Amino acid sequence: MQDQWIITEDCAGHTISEMLRRRKYSLTQRRRLRRLATVYLNDEVAAFHTRPQAGDNVRLVWDNPARHEPWEYPLDIRYEDADFLIINKPAGLLVHATVTERAHTLLHAAQAYLDRRGNGETPHPVHRLDRRTSGLLLLATNAKAQYNFNRYSMPTLWRRYFAFLHGRLPAPYAELAWPLARKPGSIIERRVDLQQGKPARTCLERLGLGAAYSYVSLLPETGRTHQLRVHCAHLGYPLLGDTLYGGDTKYIARQALHAGELQFIHPYTRKAVRVTASLPADMQALLAATR
């Protein structure tokens, strides 16, 4: 990987180490670069304590040990710039590798895509999506962009999910604020825990009713693991297909949850980015039977 810039008048006389801080590298990243990167000043090897002058060209080059083995898989990319990708993930595709699946994940597919861009990039997820959830996932294409998003843009990240729940919701709107914790004895399952749980908040809006289910919009104000699934189940209306939390597969073979809208303020341009993805075919079939 590399980073390159031209020294401006206001940066002249500062060390390259000081410039990395001004370029919004975290302390951990700066320490790692001092360990791994080679500095070039006007194409000559230099040191981090060098003080370039206005007009000089600085280039840092380093290896990226976190690179994923590329896997060729067609990706539905809804947004792309030098630092971020938004991918419409199909249900069934893992985001991260697991003990049983090490090579065929969204990150491996994104690595293959980034390799074709030819900039030495690696994908870094900004948030999570469960394997059986479909929809929009935001990736940073380098560690610096991930750090800056977490520091400057994470409070602006807004996501809207669409779901189908067992049962006919009587109310058009609900605010769910039950704290969540890991279920004892399980490394996967979560539960509502009023004593030891972490705060979690979800806004629910009913959009339509089927014969035996409800079509809803879900806005997570926090990002706890399985938050939407556990909140809906605790309310008494589990997601269709979500067998872990009380749903069944009569209507759909996976949890009927889709991340359909995503927006944020870009950490570099400070402009709003908004992306949408319509329901996939299995959920479209459910929508056709609602009113």
Question: Per the residue annotation, which of 10, 130, 242, 248 is the catalytic one?
Answer: 130
pLDDT beyond 90 at 193: yes
76-99 pLDDT, tens per residue? 999 999 999 999 999 999 998 876
Whether pLDDT at 234 is above 60: yes
DSSP-assigned letters across all residues of the chain: -EEEEEPPTTTTTS-HHHHHHHTT--HHHHHHHHHHPEEEETTEEE-TT----TT-EEEEE---TTPPPP------EEEE-SSEEEEEEPTT--SS--SS-SS-SHHHHHHHHHHHHTS----EESS---TT-EEEEEEESSHHHHHHIIIIIGGG-EEEEEEEEES--SSSEEEE---EEEPTT-SS-EEE-TTTPBP--EEEEEEEE-SSEEEEEEEESS--TTHHHHHHHHHT-PBTT-GGGT--SSS-SS--EEEEEEEEE-TTT--EEEEE-PPPHHHHHHHTT--
What pLDDT digit, counting tens, does each position of 104-145 carry?
A: 999 999 999 999 999 889 999 999 899 999 999 999 998 889
Q: Which single residue is written with the structure tokens 């994923």?
A: 68
130 classed as catalytic? yes
pTM (two decimals): 0.81
Residue-wise pLDDT tens digits, 135-180: 999 999 988 898 889 889 999 999 999 999 999 999 999 999 999 9
The pair of three-digit structure tokens given for residue 181, joined into one six-digit string: 């914790």
